Amino acid sequence: MGLIHEIDYGTPASKAEKQVTLTVDGFTVTVPEGTSIMRASMEAGIQIPKLCATDMVDAFGSCRLCLVEIEGRAGTPSSCTTPVAPGMVVKTQTNRLKDIRRGVMELYISDHPLDCLTCAANGDCELQDMAGAVGLRDVRYGYEGDNHVFAKDRADGAENFRWMAKDESNPYFTYDPSKCIVCSRCVRACEEVQGTFALTIEGRGFESRVSPGMHQLFLDSECVSCGACVQACPTATLTEKSVIEIGQPEHSVVTTCAYCGVGCSFKAEMRGDELVRMVPWKDGKANRGHSCVKGRFAYGYATHKERILNPMVREKITDPWREVTWDEAFAHVAKEFRRIQYQYGKGSIGGITSSRCTNEETYLVQKLIRQGFGNNNVDTCARVCHSPTGYGLGQTYGTSAGTQDFDSVEESDVIMVIGANPSAAHPVFASRMKKRIRQGAKLIVLDPRRTESVTSVHAKADYHLALKPGTNVAVVTALAHVIVTEGLFDEAFIRERCDWSEFEDWAAFVADPQHSPEAVEKISGVPAETIRGAARLYATGGNGAIYYGLGVTEHSQGSTTVMAIANLAMATGNIGRRGVGVNPLRGQNNVQGSCDMGSFPHELPGYRHISGDAVRDIYEALWGVKLDNEPGLRIPNMLDAAVEGTFKGIYIQGEDILQSDPDTHHVSAGLAAMECVVVHDLFLNETANYAHVFLPGSTFLEKDGTFTNAERRINRVRKVMAPKNGLADWEVTQKLAQAMGLSWNYTHPSQVMDEIAMTTPSFQKVSYDLLDEMGSVQWPCNEKAPEGTPIMHVGGFVRGKGKFIRTEYVATDEKTGPRFPLLLTTGRILSQYNVGAQTRRTDNVVWHAEDVLEIHPHDAEQRGVRDGDWVRLKSRAGETTLRAEITDRVSPGVVYTTFHHPDTQANVVTTDFSDWATNCPEYKVTAVQVSPSNGPSEWQEEYEELSKRSRRIEGHMEAAE
């Protein structure tokens, strides 16, 4: 295998079309205009010595090592900052250049420790490489005098005021200033790649040092720990702590991150079967070599002590767990499920697929339910996040997915972000978006909160529509009102691609004065002029792209908002080419995939309705069973049925519905009423408190498969170590199916993908061979698009004509009143992921140890709440307590919290109102009251007690967590 080394071309690629031919050391090379001599030379296979250049950031020309001679030009220009010219004749190695380079290296080494043998970067140090490359044999300057290397003067022991101690404040990497050569690659990576600008060079001349923030510790600075600086550092100055502890990796495997829907490609760098570090892969098409704190560093949960590695069973949920063999566990589940079906009917059991697991695993779970359980009682967590996307975009455009690839943002001129905070939830996409904004694109944000995405350094939103939670439809329709009444729509596009009469009907609807910004201002609190300005900018500013998140979907009118967004894009012609489009930012790594794989009760893989005879025929022939042509139960329906006593058994793979689903009391009542709850997960999660069987899961590092990200990109997940629990998740499902009498016999997930491709038109050409060859592919991938489809709806909509749909604003039933005068909305932060099952079990907790309630100073003052006080958060559904943070990021009347920690249980408070079309819960709006409190609520105390009791394992000294 060996380590994968991407070629570093030194400077970014030029996108120019015009080609230029030059000669480098006698070899002819042709490159795009604007390419640096350094890059052109590397293309010709000649590596010019360099230290401050790397192809992730622009040329800087500070290290003076990459000098070359050019025929007919005076001096020795730096090859990184000099662009190629036609007919140029370049020499990269002459006696003069050799002398200069050796002299420069001597100076570098005269202020650098000579501890190579014990240095963490030994074997992966560009300074070391360059010393070798230039033939450095001697350092004439010695180490006396001024230096940054030694803490004390070596002669008299006096303090060296220039020396700075190592900064170990970040949990994942160290900063050792004594090894820094001030190439400023880290500073530029933080600025150009990540866009946080947390680093600078302080001082000047010999006093120059890298400084996080204002000469602060990394942890105290604005640093978001994305790792771009560590990746860029050519020395041991910035080094992963894991490399310091373990040593350099010896082989690497390209795989896909298992956190958010961006789906970053990483090299898992290994030593034996120990993971040394995760490094973003430059050829990854979603992330282009960038990462965030979660994917880059937060993988420690895979070896966390609380991870359960043995199957467990218990009679009652009040009993302690009993460890059993895999065979006993499978036999027990099969027996129980068959008993329940015999006793309560075929439809009395069901299952939930996981958006965290692979496509192949998800496909197998829905297959187990349809083929083995003989019903359609399968649902997935997308029910609670992006089901309105599937419905809304399906209705208007004909596909249930985003229209673009992430590269498309590089050509956007106006970016509208609705109900999403990419800087926290989709950080790598946010970095790519901010890069485009720094190049001049405009940004419009619709969000009740002034999020990081609104106030990014050098990428501030031009318009922030701080709307009242629950008024999305009104505001988006008001944008349409402006576009229609001011004649800003794209008539040619609409006449060609859409149904003109439907447009006319819709235009008449939105033009009604009740949808005007002035009228909507009263409902939403957004000034009419801001709405008008944003609408004009989106309609007339060039390529307009919309990215949206759960702030759109998780509402009682989630589907309506999705359709309103689709209308906006159609009306302005912003569909069907690069730089435009409508893009849901999917929350989980494989939520797109789990939807694609037929996880919904009404759909077979590829979004084909279960009532379609032709579709059922395909699977009935292959699986040898008769399929039910009626849709099965959705998650909330399963819980309702459980409370009623007609639904008794469930197989839940990799989802913690107790914590993530709304109205916790209802979920717990439903689970408690069941007779066989099977939880298949890495940890004893909150749902497992109500489980009778626990099947230990495997991590993404321990299995083969594919994840499909938010841009429909099917990425390979590759096994880098054996499953610590013994079986990959797909094997667990297969063995369970076998125990239930099904004759499954897959020996590798690629065979599952072959079955998916064989039965699903949009995956027709997908195979592991194709993925290995292309790296990744975006569906649809079929006869018409054998290499996949980066941009959808080019030349026409998938459904034929784009459909305009009226979007009437209906206020949610969740209303504020005297008892519950504030509106609670929920969200995420950067360092934690979803319910936190993984990230809470990593050092990411240094950034976010608990959920807090953000409240406006005015509302806090009225209630006598001070910053850091415990407060009680109460709604019609329930109450919880947490600490308050007073901030004007939220408007008066709005409070905000995250749901990363189970002891807060924000969903105790959320209600069971949901989207009219898809039942997607209304997490984003809950009427609440906030009052001072002394500590945890009764529910929190009871629940903690239950958790403790429920997590006892026989023979173990103490319960996990």
Partner 1 sequence: MTMQPASTDIAARAATVVAERRNLEGPLLPILHELQAEFGHVPQEALPVIAEALNLSKAEVHGVVTFYHDFRREPAGRHVIKLCRAEACQSMGGDAVAARLQELLGIGFHETAKDGSVTLDPVYCLGLCACAPAALVDGEPVGRLDEEALQAIAAEVRA
Task: Provide, rounded to whole angstroms, the least separation between the CB of residue 449 and partner 1.
Answer: 17
Task: Provide, rounded to whole angstroms, the least separation between the CB of residue 193 and partner 1.
Answer: 15
Residue 215 in the binding site for partner 1 (CB under 8 A): yes
Backbone angles phi, psi at 132, to 5 degrees: -70, -40
For residues 2 and 205, which CB has a smaller minimum distance to partner 1 in the complex? 205
Task: Provide, rounded to whole angstroms, the least separation between the CB of residue 221 and partner 1.
Answer: 7
Site for partner 1 (CB under 8 A): which residue of 15, 204, 305, 522? 204
For residues 187 and 571, which CB has a smaller minimum distance to partner 1 in the complex? 187
**C-alpha angle 551/557/559, rounded to 5°?**
85
Contact range with partner 1 by CB under 8 A, out of 214-222, 552-560, 735-743, 916-924: 214-222
Task: Provide, rounded to whole angstroms, the least separation between the CB of residue 437 and partner 1.
Answer: 11
Residue 858 in the binding site for partner 1 (CB under 8 A): no
Task: Provide, rounded to whole angstroms, the least separation between the CB of residue 464 and partner 1.
Answer: 13
Residue 196 in the binding site for partner 1 (CB under 8 A): yes
Two tokens, residue 851: 């959920």
Residue 42 in the binding site for partner 1 (CB under 8 A): no
For residues 21 and 208, which CB has a smaller minimum distance to partner 1 in the complex? 208
Q: Please classify residue 901 by burial: count the beta carbons closer than 10 Å to its beta carbon, then call 0-12 exposed, 13-18 middle and 19+ buried.
A: buried
Task: Provide, rounded to whole angstroms, the least separation between the CB of residue 195 and partner 1.
Answer: 10
Of 432-461, binders to partner 1 (CB under 8 A) are: 455, 457-458, 460
What separation, in Å, do the N-terminal and C-terminal C-alpha atoms of the chain show? 38
For residues 462 and 499, which CB has a smaller minimum distance to partner 1 in the complex? 462
Q: How far apart are CA 411 and CA 891, in angstroms?
A: 33
Site for partner 1 (CB under 8 A): which residue of 78, 211, 904, 926? 211
Q: Secondary structure of 66-121 in the HEC alphabet?
A: CECEECCCCCCCECCCCECCCCCEEECCCHHHHHHHHHHHHHHHCCCCCCHHHCCC
Contact range with partner 1 by CB under 8 A, out of 68-76, 106-114, 201-209, 792-800: 201-209
Task: Provide, rounded to whole angstroms, the least separation between the CB of residue 106 and partner 1.
Answer: 24
Residue 200 in the binding site for partner 1 (CB under 8 A): yes
Site for partner 1 (CB under 8 A): which residue of 32, 34, 61, 213? 213
Two tokens, residue 622: 């292959």
Residue 202 in the binding site for partner 1 (CB under 8 A): yes
For residues 460 and 784, which CB has a smaller minimum distance to partner 1 in the complex? 460
For residues 456 and 594, which CB has a smaller minimum distance to partner 1 in the complex? 456
Neighbours of 412 (CB within 10 A): 27
Pairing of strands 89-91, 69-70: antiparallel
Q: Secondary structure of 861-907 in the HEC alphabet?
A: HHHCCCCCCEEEEEECCCEEEEEEEECCCCCCCEEEEECCCCCCCHH
Site for partner 1 (CB under 8 A): which residue of 177, 212, 311, 593? 212
Backbone angles phi, psi at 429, to 5 degrees: -65, -40
Of 587-606, binders to partner 1 (CB under 8 A) are: none
3-state secondary structure (DSSP) of residue 666 = helix
Task: Provide, rounded to whole angstroms, the least separation between the CB of residue 220 and partner 1.
Answer: 10
Task: Provide, rounded to whole angstroms, the least separation between the CB of residue 455 and partner 1.
Answer: 8
Residues in contact with partner 1, shown as a per-residue x/- string from 268 to 297 under the rule CB under 8 A: ------------------------------
Of 503-562, binders to partner 1 (CB under 8 A) are: none
**What residues contact 411, with CB distance under 8 A and at least 6 apart?**
543, 578, 579
Q: How far apart are CA 948 and CA 143, in angstroms?
A: 60
Q: How far apart are CA 256 and CA 266, in angstroms?
A: 6
Q: How far apart are CA 697 and CA 683, in angstroms?
A: 8
**Structural contact between residues 400 and 595, judged by C-beta atoms closer than 8 angstroms:** yes
3-state secondary structure (DSSP) of residue 130 = helix
For residues 867 and 942, which CB has a smaller minimum distance to partner 1 in the complex? 867
Q: How far apart are CA 161 and CA 182, in angstroms?
A: 18
Residue 354 in the binding site for partner 1 (CB under 8 A): no
Residue 169 in the binding site for partner 1 (CB under 8 A): no
Residue 217 in the binding site for partner 1 (CB under 8 A): no
Site for partner 1 (CB under 8 A): which residue of 57, 80, 198, 920? 198
Task: Provide, rounded to whole angstroms, the least separation between the CB of residue 532 and partner 1.
Answer: 24
**Structural contact between residues 73 and 82, judged by C-beta atoms closer than 8 angstroms:** no
For residues 202 and 945, which CB has a smaller minimum distance to partner 1 in the complex? 202
Task: Provide, rounded to whole angstroms, the least separation between the CB of residue 447 and partner 1.
Answer: 18
For residues 101 and 856, which CB has a smaller minimum distance to partner 1 in the complex? 856
Task: Provide, rounded to whole angstroms, the least separation between the CB of residue 934 and partner 1.
Answer: 23
Q: How many residues bind partner 1 (CB under 8 A)?
A: 20
Q: Is the peptide bond preceding residue 723 cis, with omega within 30 degrees of 0? A: no
For residues 395 and 887, which CB has a smaller minimum distance to partner 1 in the complex? 887
Q: What ranges in 409-516 are assigned the alpha helix state H?
A: 422-425, 427-438, 452-455, 472-485, 491-497, 500-511
Q: How far apart are CA 121 and CA 235, in angstroms?
A: 6
**What residues contact 118, with CB distance under 8 A and at least 6 apart?**
none
Residue 229 in the binding site for partner 1 (CB under 8 A): no
DSSP code, position 260: B
Residue 203 in the binding site for partner 1 (CB under 8 A): yes
Residue 201 in the binding site for partner 1 (CB under 8 A): yes
For residues 454 and 930, which CB has a smaller minimum distance to partner 1 in the complex? 454
Task: Provide, rounded to whole angstroms, the least separation between the CB of residue 457 and partner 1.
Answer: 5
Site for partner 1 (CB under 8 A): which residue of 197, 493, 768, 939? 197
Contact range with partner 1 by CB under 8 A, out of 108-116, 135-143, 208-216, 810-818: 208-216
**Structural contact between residues 334 and 706, judged by C-beta atoms closer than 8 angstroms:** no
DSSP notation for 667-725: HHHHHHT-SEEEEEESS--SGGGG-SEEEE---GGG--EEEE-TT-EEEEE---S--TT
For residues 5 and 204, which CB has a smaller minimum distance to partner 1 in the complex? 204
Site for partner 1 (CB under 8 A): which residue of 13, 214, 622, 625? 214
* 207-242: b (≥16 Cβ within 10 Å) or e: eebbbbbeeeebbebebbbbbbbbbbbbbbbbbbbb
Name the strand (E) or helix (H) holding 442. Answer: strand 442-446
Of 370-429, binders to partner 1 (CB under 8 A) are: none
Please name the amino acid found at residue 263. Answer: G
Task: Provide, rounded to whole angstroms, the least separation between the CB of residue 868 and partner 1.
Answer: 10
Task: Provide, rounded to whole angstroms, the least separation between the CB of residue 883 and partner 1.
Answer: 16
Please name the amino acid found at residue 294. Answer: K
For residues 177 and 470, which CB has a smaller minimum distance to partner 1 in the complex? 177
Contact range with partner 1 by CB under 8 A, out of 13-21, 205-213, 813-821, 826-834: 205-213
Residue 344 in the binding site for partner 1 (CB under 8 A): no
Of 57-116, binders to partner 1 (CB under 8 A) are: none
**205 Ramachandran zone, left/alpha/beta (phi>0; psi -120 to 50):** left
For residues 200 and 291, which CB has a smaller minimum distance to partner 1 in the complex? 200
Contact range with partner 1 by CB under 8 A, out of 211-219, 281-289, 797-805, 908-916: 211-219
Residues that bind partner 1 (CB under 8 A): 196-204, 211-215, 221-222, 455, 457-458, 460
